[in-house]
Amino acid sequence: MVVITGISGLVGANLARALLAQGRQVRGLVHRDQRAVEASPIELTKGDERGL
């Protein structure tokens, strides 16, 4: 399993897609906008890095 912070950004969303294409399981941390990844099989958690 891979966890990506900032998954809704350009780099995070593309990284998630590449990992999913490899058959990896992906989890992501989103702050507000999750439109870039909401149609994919990614387990999303709302929050920000300050709470980690």
CB atoms within 10 A of CB 4: 20
Structural domain including 11 reads 2-51
Q: Within the chain, what is the greatest distance between any pair of CA atoms?
A: 30
Note the pTM of the prediction, 2 decimals: 0.77
Number of domains in the chain: 1
pLDDT under 70: residue ranges of the chain: 49, 51-52
Report the pLDDT value the prediction gives residue 30, as an integer from 0 to 100: 85
Report the pLDDT value the prediction gives residue 22, as an integer from 0 to 100: 96
b/e map 23-42, b = 16+ CB within 10 Å: eeebebbbeeebebbeeeeb
